Amino acid sequence: MRAIRRYWSGQQIVLATSGWLNPIVALTGCVDRLLPVRGLEPLPAVARFPDVAITLHGAGPQSNRILDDLRPARRLGHAGHGWPGPPWRIGLNERARWCRMLAAHGVPADPGDLHLNQPSTAGTTSPAPDAVVVHVGASYGSKRWPAARFADVAGQLAADGHRVVLTGTTAEQWLAGAVAAAAGLPDEAVLAGRTSLPELAALVAQAAVVGGLDREIQVDVAPRRLDDLGLTVADVARALAASTARAPCVTVQARHSSSPAVKKEISPSKA
């Protein structure tokens, strides 16, 4: 979105996405208007005849058809279904994928330019400043660590004297609760389902360290198995605890529920 904002600095940028994302979209500072939609439904008449239509939703054909119905003057996306552009590549990180697509259309884009504005400017504060945030959520169960492994990491962090909080969705409160109980954390450490989106953004922005699963809270580093790296759960805990002036983010990713993996590098992460 920053690449689009810079390239079309004088244009109105309208983002068609889920309405509940509005608090986070506002923190990008790139969007003039959010057009709330549900899935791949047709867009309203107010969106017709744009100068440029950009698909950031798959390689089509459904999303392409929806944007074609708007009759845009220019279309940006991947090649196929009547659209020009670069070929779709399997296995790319989403940020890299869409920045690659924009660059192929002549729009310079940096996958590392992803930091959000500080939510505190809008009066939202972190529920746990300077805490170590362990995000137990995952979009799919196959990408989620078992509670026991999260508890090992959280327990080690707590034993080292860090304040640990657990985040996730309302549906994942049971998992966060199980992790807290196994790690010996107090009930107030469970923030899963108890934060608004702005509060979650503030929590991450003001965290000492953030650790998460897959794409929920992540950095772009190719995942490897723990044993491939010669790492143990204690090593992960120490990596998560190695806070710096700029909150490092270590993403723990599971290829399968029985096969943990960790992203080796620690990269600066700002919300």
> What token pair was written down for 61?
């054909």
Measured distance CA(25)–CA(56) in Å, rounded: 15
pLDDT for residue 166: 94
Burial status of residue 93 (CB atoms within 10 A of its CB: 0-12, 13-18, 19 or more): middle
Look at 120 and 180; give whichever has higher pLDDT. 180
What CA–CA distance (Å, rounded) separates 107 from 126? 35
Distance, in Å, from the CA atom of 112 to the CA atom of 205, rounded to the nearest integer, reads 16
Q: What is the pLDDT of residues 184-220, one digit of tens each?
A: 999 999 999 998 888 888 888 888 777 765 444 443 2
Q: What's the CA dihedral at 64, 66, 69, 70 to 10 degrees?
A: -100
- pLDDT for 217 equals 46
Q: Are 203 and 165 in contact (CB under 8 A)?
A: yes
Cα gap 41→44, rounded to integer Å: 9
- Residue 69 makes CB contacts below 8 A (sequence gap 6+) with 42, 43
Percent of the chain with pLDDT over 90: 37
Query: What pLDDT was estimated at residue 40?
Result: 87
Count of positions (residues) in the chain: 271
Instruction: Determine the straight-line distance between the first and last CA of the chain, rounded to whole angstroms.
Output: 15
Kindly report the number of other CB atoms within 10 A of residue 7's CB atom: 15
- pLDDT at residue 202, as a whole number: 84
Q: What phi and psi, each to the nearest 5 degrees, are found at residue 184?
A: 75, 25
Residue 254 has pLDDT above 50, yes or no: no
Chain centroid to CA 39: how far?
19
With bands split at pLDDT 50, 70 and 90, how would you rate the model's confidence at 14?
very high
